[in-house]
């Protein structure tokens, strides 16, 4: 016997106006991770009163905007400032059981990343204030310590764009304005590593320590460890930037959003041969791999913006919902750092990512 019957009362999730009625039930939430402003789909049944009145959806104690409502499907927007991810559907007479959703928590704001953040071996996170082309900003690169203390790391660097660490812990920064790649010590001392890289954007190291640079006008450069520069591959020019990451298959994966809404992820063999790994993403940008060879891309798929996961055989799945996400990085404690146009978020997602050059 239920506690309601023991108390001589009707169970409000089961009875209304004298007739038996099943309360709202959530059977699926997709995707199961989001940041504020992201949109998720909730499926189940019993979501509306008599098929007419919209329910309230809450994340913790914060109400979400309901964008679409039907008895068995809801589309909702994650509210600002939410820190608890338990989502419930409240019809006014009954409340569903809570369903967990992982929520990314903002820990750094007033930034301007345009690509992936970078994480060093000590867990410090580096990101940019890139600015518009030719804009000189007071701070170029920020260092965010594991306790989320934000510190100035580099100044007077024009339009910093791509970030990458080598095996020795040196940071490399591209300037798309200057076409220059800078090498930076952990103390913040910088020197020119390479020049003449066109509109230099994405950076990535291969297993041998060669550095690859995306020139968004159409070239992928390879810089050997003795700083010889080669043209590695040629692609269609990008309207924004190239983003680069090496996979466990030793191939270089590249995104470069164009004016199309059906863009490619390119796979480039060590020989420089280019093929399409996947086509069908809207504005694909930053990308990273996990230890199982799954690829994560900041992009839109089927109208859903956020982080898309692609299996090694190129099957896509929306993993994280969020607007304005441009890049991502993994930490050693199995969380994901997400970079939007203005902020960084940390998302507990229990994925072991590839963070430093694959050895």
Residue 183: how many other CB atoms lie within 10 Å: 16
Q: Do 121 and 232 have their domain in common?
A: yes
Q: What is the pLDDT of residue 15?
A: 40
The total domain count for the chain is: 2
Kindly give the confidence (pLDDT) of every residue in the chain, 359 residues in length, as a single tens digit, with 9 standing for 90 and above: 333 333 334 444 444 434 444 689 999 999 999 999 999 999 999 998 766 788 999 999 999 999 999 999 999 999 998 987 899 999 999 999 999 999 999 999 999 999 999 999 999 999 999 999 888 899 999 999 999 999 999 999 999 999 999 999 999 999 999 999 999 999 999 999 999 999 999 999 999 999 999 999 999 999 999 999 999 999 999 998 999 999 999 999 999 999 888 999 999 999 999 999 999 999 999 999 999 999 999 999 988 999 999 999 999 999 999 999 999 999 999 999 999 999 999 999 999 999 766 55
User: Is 75 inside a domain boundary?
Assistant: yes
Residues 252 and 158 in one domain: yes
> What pLDDT, on a 0 to 100 scale, did the predictor assign at position 357?
61
User: Do 116 and 65 have their domain in common?
Assistant: no
What count of other Cβ atoms lies within 10 Å of the Cβ of residue 261? 12
Shared domain check, 175 and 261? yes
**Residues 195, 199, 203, 208, Cα dihedral to 10°:** -50
**Confidence at residue 1, expressed as pLDDT on a 0 to 100 scale:** 36
Shared domain for 70 and 137, answered yes or no, is no
What pLDDT is recorded for position 356? 64
Both tokens of residue 179? 């076409």
Of 56, 75, 103, the residue that ends a domain is: 103
Q: Are residues 95 and 231 in the same domain?
A: no
What is the three-class DSSP state of 87?
A: strand
Spatial separation of the C-alpha atoms in residues 345 and 338, rounded to whole Å:
5
Q: Is 50 in the same domain as 109?
A: no
> Does residue 72 sit within a domain?
yes
7, part of any domain: no
Question: What is the reported pLDDT for 18?
Answer: 40
* Single residue among 88, 103, 118 that ends a domain in this structure: 103
What local confidence, expressed as pLDDT, does residue 3 receive? 32
| Strand ranges, E, within 23-72 | 25-30, 33-34, 39-45, 56-59, 62-63, 65-70
Cβ-count burial of 11 within 10 angstroms (0-12 exposed, 13-18 middle, 19+ buried)? middle
Question: What pTM value is reported for the model?
Answer: 0.91
Identify the CA nearest to 328 among candidates 304, 350, 353, 303: 353
Domain shared by 161 and 303, yes or no: yes
C-alpha pair distances (Å), 245 with each of 91, 162, 329, 345, 356: 46, 11, 11, 21, 10
What confidence score (pLDDT) does residue 84 get? 77
CATH number of the domain where residue 214 is located: 2.120.10.30
CB atoms within 10 A of CB 355: 19
CA distances 266 to 117, 162, 272, 332, Å, are 21, 18, 11, 27
Q: Is residue 353 part of a domain?
A: no
145 and 32 within one domain: no
Select from 71, 103, 135 the last residue of a domain.
Answer: 103
Within-domain flag for 109: yes
**pLDDT score for 128:** 98
Residue 29's domain is classified under what CATH number? 2.60.40.10
| pLDDT score of 206 | 96
Residue 357 domain-assigned (yes or no): no
The pLDDT of residue 156: 93
On whether both 132 and 268 belong to a single domain, the answer is: yes
Range of the domain at 242: 105-348
| One domain for residues 137 and 237 | yes
Predicted local confidence at residue 260, as pLDDT: 87
Asked if 140 contacts 129 with a C-beta cutoff of 8 angstroms, the reply is: yes
| Shared domain check, 215 and 249 | yes
Would residue 298 count as lying in a domain? yes
Residue 70 lies in a domain: yes
């Amino acid at each position: 016997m239920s506690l309601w019957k023991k108390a001589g009362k009707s169970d409000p999730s089961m009875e209304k106006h004298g007739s038996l009625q099943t309360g709202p039930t959530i059977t699926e939430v997709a995707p199961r991770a989001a940041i504020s402003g992201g949109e998720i789909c909730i499926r189940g049944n019993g979501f509306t009163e008599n098929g007419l009145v919209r329910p309230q959806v809450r994340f913790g104690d914060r109400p979400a905007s309901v964008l679409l409502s039907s008895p068995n499907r809801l589309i909702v927007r994650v509210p600002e400032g939410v820190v608890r991810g338990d989502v419930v559907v409240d019809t006014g007479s009954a409340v569903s059981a809570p369903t967990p959703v992982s929520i990314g928590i903002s820990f750094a704001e007033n930034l301007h990343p345009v690509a992936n953040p970078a994480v060093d071996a000590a867990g410090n996170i580096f990101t940019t204030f890139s600015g518009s082309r030719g804009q000189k900003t007071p701070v170029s690169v920020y260092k965010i310590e594991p306790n989320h203390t934000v510190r100035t790391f580099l100044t007077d660097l024009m339009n910093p764009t791509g970030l990458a660490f080598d095996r020795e812990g040196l940071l490399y920064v591209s300037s798309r304005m200057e076409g220059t790649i800078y090498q930076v010590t952990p103390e913040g001392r910088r020197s020119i590593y390479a020049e003449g890289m066109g509109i230099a954007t994405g950076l990535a190291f291969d297993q041998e320590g060669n550095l690859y640079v995306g020139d968004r006008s159409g070239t992928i450069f390879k810089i050997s460890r003795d700083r010889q520069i080669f043209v590695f591959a040629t692609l269609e020019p990008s309207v924004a930037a190239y983003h680069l990451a090496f996979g466990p298959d030793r191939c270089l994966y590249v995104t470069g959003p164009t004016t199309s809404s059906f863009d490619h992820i390119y796979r480039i063999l060590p020989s420089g041969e280019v093929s399409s790994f996947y086509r069908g993403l809207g504005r694909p940008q930053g990308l990273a791999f996990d230890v199982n060879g799954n690829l994560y891309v900041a992009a839109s798929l089927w109208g859903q913006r956020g982080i898309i996961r692609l299996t090694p055989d190129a099957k896509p799945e929306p993993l994280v919902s969020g607007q304005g996400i441009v890049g991502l990085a993994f930490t050693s404690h199995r969380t994901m750092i997400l970079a939007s146009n203005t902020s960084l978020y940390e998302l507990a997602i229990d994925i072991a990512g590839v963070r430093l050059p694959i050895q």
